[in-house]
Structure 1
Amino acid sequence: MVIETSFDVRWREPVWVKTSAGIPQAVRGPRQALDFLTYRRPALSDGAFESAKRLCIQALRKETTCDAARRSFIDAARQADLDA
């Protein structure tokens, strides 16, 4: 079984979030969002973060739209007060 992926997908507009140091960081697509959710903020793993991770993976696999992953990432960042 081969799963087609696209790791170079980028959003039209980046999503700005705060790092753990409070510094604004641009997240430009589902791959960067997944990295942020998994490694930069692993302690924050509520339902919104888990949903955003799942949708980012699905967007990379072309199983959902990048816009859906972006909206979910924005929602998770807002709920965790990480939007910059």
Structure 2
Amino acid sequence: MHAAMLPAAKQLVMRPILHANADPPWNICPSRKVRRRKNRGIQMAEVIKVDFGVTWSAPVHVRVGNGIRQEISGPDAALECLKHRWPEKRCELYAQARQLCLAAVCKHGSLELARQAFVNAAADAKMLA
């Protein structure tokens, strides 16, 4: 099935199967785009279904900039907010929220733990709406 025929939030990602002694052809999260090198130990590809529209059970509302209220519905949006709109990036709660949201996006961590860490960081930064 062609990727354009799938729903907008779901896509197919090709993951190469490697020889035992080959270097991995990518250096990024497996749920993101896979970069390939030219024929370095790749025999065939395995298809993995990925859902890029991961959302929390309940959105978090924060105030950014001049008090504009923004709805954060999942770890993707939380990472974007943490990266571009956060006032204090040296806080321990900020680092923890960023780490847990990244793990949730890569499907290695809990969505609810990431949400709670983001809420705690937003409360510490006085950004909760």
Q: Tell whether the structures are fold-level matches, with TM greater than 0.5.
A: yes
Displacement of 1:13 after TM fit? Answer: 1.0
Which amino acid in 2 is paired with 1:4? S
State the distance in 2 between where 1:70 and 1:16 align.
Answer: 11
Which residue in 2 is equivalent to 1:74?
119
User: 1:47 offset after TM fit, Å?
Assistant: 0.8
Aligned to 1:34: 79
2:88 to 37, 44, 54: 44
Mark the structure with the bigger radius of gyration.
2
In structure 1, runs of 5+ residues without a counterpart are none
Runs of at least 5 residues in structure 2 that lack an aligned partner in the other structure: 1-23, 33-50
User: Which SS does the other structure have where 1:25 is aligned?
Assistant: strand
Shift of 1:44: 1.1
TM-score, reference length from structure 2: 0.60
**SS state at 1:77 partner:** helix
- TM, length-normalised to structure 1: 0.90
| Helix, strand or coil at the partner of 2:71 | strand
Runs of 4+ in 1 over 6 A off after TM superposition: none
**Alpha-carbon distance in 2 for matches of 1:75, 1:7:** 24
Q: Does 1:20 align with 2:65?
A: yes
- Structure with the bigger percentage of strand: 2
In 1: Cα distance, 2:52 partner to 2:88 partner: 24
